[in-house]
């Protein structure tokens, strides 16, 4: 066939030359290639009719009518029939790459993994420039959890045809699946540059932005996708998720209910709806939504994990049996086993079966860590690079550009150190709004860190104005707004410089409990690779602690440190001290934070809807025999005073 980047005119010229040379099969194939891209191309249509009337042509080449018949069956959604028809055509036309591309797609849709892979490979072997087959093959590899294998296939497709939007999109999906977010974003952008109204690419880019906590950008992409494809339930589900994360649970629920009405068998719709209902404390409604997912797909791993803690006790054994069966089944995809392993780890812990619990948790962690990329060197350097900027007073000249607002309250620290609990207590106060975890400060800080001493007052103003705009957009008339992004511990120096009146609360927990709590929980994001390896987790914890020590040296008294263990031991006393630091009058209601009706997005969503409990203190002791690598990696000198006696 003509080259992958050939124009329709070039393909037409090649077809006419083939016809004149008597190569009817090639001419027919080229005319059909034109009609695939431009179905109403009259010259190609007429030429095909003429060629098919020539003696013997029908026996030597597949006709456009044959191709159209196959496509019609495929587009009807009857993939079993399409597969059978493609197999018959493959026998009749063994040199037709088009047929094998369709056979690959239909085989994949009917669960014939080997048949799909073999067909795609043969299509590409027959036509090494067949970028459509490469794109489909790469997309299928991602679907079967072979994203790393998909990358070179899709790279070849975009190299052969740089303006092929679909291949760029599929390559973006592959990179996202292996945690290479920067490359994924690059190819989503390229897909949209070549096809600005490509709804799927907008949806995928929005999903990546959401994963990276860019909720504003994600919402914009999802709304743009829906403006192009108003009935795209996938975009509706994703928009519902990001709206929920932004505290707009009512609007999110409304959109998801519309999606459910359009497709009662869309598992993602009901799963997302269930997540929002659970976050809002509507556990019965969440259970109902999760049941609807399992009616369609009884083995939906994420839903099985989520529903296990919600089902009535008389049903729990059946759910556990199903999870155990799937977890042990060699045919279960590794990423599904990750979900199932974390579910079983939590279940066995509640049964005090700690060895079984750890076995499941450890396998789940190892599987997920293997699926994620290595920690980039830039992550390790980030700690030193940022603190060095403040060691050298790189931003001292920006103090005059600081914003006097005292609205921000930053609650930060290690994940699972009690940040959600502290936020809930503060946000229960009548003068405070809880904004959840905002990535805004980190996103806005990047250009300032890159410029260092070259940053200008205008750069500082951009940071403060844009941050406050995002912080306050849902806060109404609240006097203070809590930003509970744990990772803002990186930004303490910049926050103190540009928001000198902001309050900063650092939650501190015994590192053994803190790190194990991270290890036993699944975080649905690419941002925490270290969380799934004991050695990497200990190293990260040490770097966090060293950084907080340095902030205390550089900005004495700027950070209020609250001990998790002290808070759960005497909630009222610690809450009074906390509100006093924030300059807020006492309200008895903060002691009943668990009764809040606001949505809570955290791995501890069910815990923060209960009264404070103390069972999480020293919980590491039940797993001590299995956590040697973690404990050996923790720097006892750094953590002096943090270990709970």
Over 80: is that where the pLDDT of 3 sits? no
**pTM of the entire predicted model:** 0.77
Closest CA to 536 of 365, 298, 401: 365
CA distance 298 to 598: 31
pLDDT score of 373: 79
Q: In degrees rounded to 5, what are phi and psi of residue 491?
A: -100, 10
Pick the range with the lowest mean pLDDT from 212-221, 476-485, 581-590.
212-221
Contact 269, 233 (CB under 8 A): yes
pLDDT score of 26: 77
pLDDT score of 429: 97
Closest CA to 23 of 61, 79, 72, 65: 61
Closest CA to 422 of 582, 244, 207: 582
Q: What rounded mean pLDDT belongs to the chain?
A: 92
CA distance 274 to 260: 12
pLDDT tens track for 393-421: 999 999 999 999 999 999 999 999 999 99
DSSP assignment letter at 411 = E
Q: Which domains does the chain have, with CATH numbers?
A: 1-61 (no CATH), 298-371 (no CATH), 377-633 (3.40.50.300)
Q: In degrees rounded to 5, what are phi and psi of residue 482?
A: -90, 125
pLDDT score of 4: 53
Angle between helices 181-194 and 199-211 (to 10 degrees): 160
CA distance 153 to 174: 10
pLDDT score of 52: 67
Q: Give the pLDDT mean for 238-246.
A: 90
CA distance 310 to 321: 16
- Mind spelling out the 3-state secondary structure of 324-355? HHHHHCCCCCHHHHHHHHHHHHHHHHHCCCHH
pLDDT tens track for 514-538: 999 999 999 977 678 999 999 999 9
pLDDT score of 82: 96
Beta sheet of 480-483, edge-to-edge order: 432-434, 480-483, 408-413, 503-508, 559-563
Closest CA to 498 of 440, 545, 544: 440
Closest CA to 210 of 237, 249, 171: 237
Contact 127, 163 (CB under 8 A): no
Contact 409, 480 (CB under 8 A): yes
Closest CA to 139 of 206, 97, 191, 92: 191
pLDDT score of 40: 84
Contact 167, 161 (CB under 8 A): yes
Over 80: is that where the pLDDT of 21 sits? no
Q: Give the pLDDT mean for 277-299.
A: 94
Under DSSP, is residue 309 helix (H, G, I), strand (E, B) or coil? coil
| Residue bearing the bigger pLDDT, 300 or 609 | 300
Q: Give the pLDDT mean for 424-441.
A: 94
pLDDT score of 599: 52
pLDDT score of 593: 84
Under DSSP, is residue 588 helix (H, G, I), strand (E, B) or coil? helix
Closest CA to 80 of 55, 111, 121: 111
pLDDT score of 513: 97
pLDDT score of 64: 87
**Sorting pLDDT into bands at 50, 70 and 90, what band is 596?**
low
Q: How many CB atoms lie within 10 A of CB 640?
A: 9
Closest CA to 379 of 232, 491, 527, 523: 527
Pick the range with the lowest mean pLDDT from 216-220, 530-534, 601-605.
601-605
Looking at mean pLDDT, say which of 34-38, 277-281, 487-491 comes out highest. Answer: 487-491
CA distance 87 to 85: 5
Under DSSP, is residue 119 helix (H, G, I), strand (E, B) or coil? helix
Beta-bridge partners for 562: 507
pLDDT tens track for 355-364: 999 999 999 9
CA distance 37 to 45: 13
Q: Give the pLDDT mean for 623-640.
A: 96
pLDDT score of 31: 86
> What is the share, in percent, of the chain residues with pLDDT greater than 90?
77
Pick the range with the lowest mean pLDDT from 332-336, 366-370, 437-441, 640-644.
640-644
Tokens of 75: 């587009």
* Beta strands 503-508 and 432-434, pairing class: unpaired
Under DSSP, is residue 194 helix (H, G, I), strand (E, B) or coil? helix
Over 80: is that where the pLDDT of 506 sits? yes
Q: Give the pLDDT mean for 261-276.
A: 93
Over 90: is that where the pLDDT of 160 sits? yes
Over 70: is that where the pLDDT of 604 sits? no
Over 90: is that where the pLDDT of 432 sits? yes
**Sorting pLDDT into bands at 50, 70 and 90, what band is 55?**
very low
Contact 448, 459 (CB under 8 A): yes
Over 50: is that where the pLDDT of 611 sits? yes
């Amino acid at each position: 066939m003509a080259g992958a980047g050939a124009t329709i005119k070039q393909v037409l010229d090649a077809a006419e030359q083939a016809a004149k040379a008597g190569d009817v099969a090639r001419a027919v194939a080229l005319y059909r290639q034109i009609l695939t891209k431009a179905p109403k191309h009259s010259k190609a249509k007429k030429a095909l009719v003429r060629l098919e009337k020539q003696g013997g042509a029908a026996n030597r080449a597949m006709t456009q009518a044959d191709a159209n018949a196959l496509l019609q069956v495929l587009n009807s959604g009857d993939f079993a029939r399409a597969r059978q028809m493609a197999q018959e055509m493959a026998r009749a036309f063994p040199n037709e790459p088009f047929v094998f591309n369709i056979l690959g797609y239909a085989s994949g849709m009917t669960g014939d993994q080997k048949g799909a892979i073999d067909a795609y490979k043969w299509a590409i072997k027959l036509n090494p420039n067949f970028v459509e087959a490469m794109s489909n093959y790469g997309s299928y590899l991602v679907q079967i959890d072979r994203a790393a294998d998909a990358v070179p296939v899709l790279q070849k497709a975009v190299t052969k045809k740089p303006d092929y939007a679909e291949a760029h999109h599929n390559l973006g999906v592959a990179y996202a699946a292996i945690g290479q977010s920067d490359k994924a974003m690059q190819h989503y952008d390229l897909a949209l540059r070549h096809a600005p109204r490509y709804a799927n690419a907008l949806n995928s880019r929005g999903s990546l932005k959401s994963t990276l906590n860019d909720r504003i950008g994600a919402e914009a992409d999802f709304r743009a996708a829906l403006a192009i494809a108003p009935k795209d339930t996938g975009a509706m589900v994703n928009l519902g998720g990001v709206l929920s994360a932004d505290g707009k649970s009512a609007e999110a629920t409304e959109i998801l209910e519309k999606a459910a009405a359009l497709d009662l068998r869309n598992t993602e719709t009901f799963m997302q709806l269930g997540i929002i209902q659970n976050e809002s404390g509507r556990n019965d409604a969440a259970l109902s939504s999760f049941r609807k997912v399992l009616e369609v797909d009884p083995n939906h791993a994420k839903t099985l994990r989520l529903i296990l803690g919600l089902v009535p006790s008389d049903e729990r054994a059946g759910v556990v049996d199903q999870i155990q069966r799937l977890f042990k089944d060699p045919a279960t995809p590794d990423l599904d086993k990750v979900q199932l392993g974390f579910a079983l780890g939590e279940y066995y812990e509640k049964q005090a079966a700690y060895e079984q619990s750890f076995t499941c948790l450890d396998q789940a962690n190892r599987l997920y860590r293997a699926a994620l990329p290595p920690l980039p060197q830039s992550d390790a350097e980030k700690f030193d690079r940022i603190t060095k900027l403040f060691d050298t007073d790189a931003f001292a000249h920006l103090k005059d550009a600081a914003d006097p607002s005292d609205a921000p309250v930053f609650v930060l620290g290690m994940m699972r150190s009690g940040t959600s609990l502290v936020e809930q207590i503060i946000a229960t106060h009548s003068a405070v709004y809880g904004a959840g975890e905002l990535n805004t400060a980190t996103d806005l800080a990047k250009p300032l860190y890159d410029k260092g001493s070259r940053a200008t007052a205008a750069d500082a103003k951009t940071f403060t104005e844009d941050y406050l705009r995002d912080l306050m957009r849902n806060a109404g008339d609240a006097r203070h707004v809590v930003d509970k992004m744990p990772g803002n511990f990186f930004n303490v120096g910049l926050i103190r410089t540009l928001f000198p009146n902001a309050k900063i609360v650092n939650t501190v927990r015994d590192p053994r409990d803190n790190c194990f709590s991270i290890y036993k929980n699944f975080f649905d994001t690419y941002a925490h690779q270290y969380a799934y390896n004991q050695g990497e987790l200990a190293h990260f914890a040490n770097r966090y602690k060293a950084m907080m020590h340095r902030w205390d040296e550089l900005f004495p008294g700027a950070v209020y440190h609250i001990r998790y263990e002290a808070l759960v031991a005497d909630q009222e006393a610690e809450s009074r001290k906390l509100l006093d630091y924030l300059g807020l009058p006492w309200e008895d209601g903060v002691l009943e934070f668990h009764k809040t009706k606001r949505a809570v997005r955290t791995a501890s969503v069910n815990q923060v809807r209960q009264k404070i409990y103390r069972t999480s203190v020293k919980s590491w002791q039940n797993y001590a025999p299995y956590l040697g690598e973690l404990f050996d990696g923790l720097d006892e000198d750094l953590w002096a005073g943090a270990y709970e006696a």
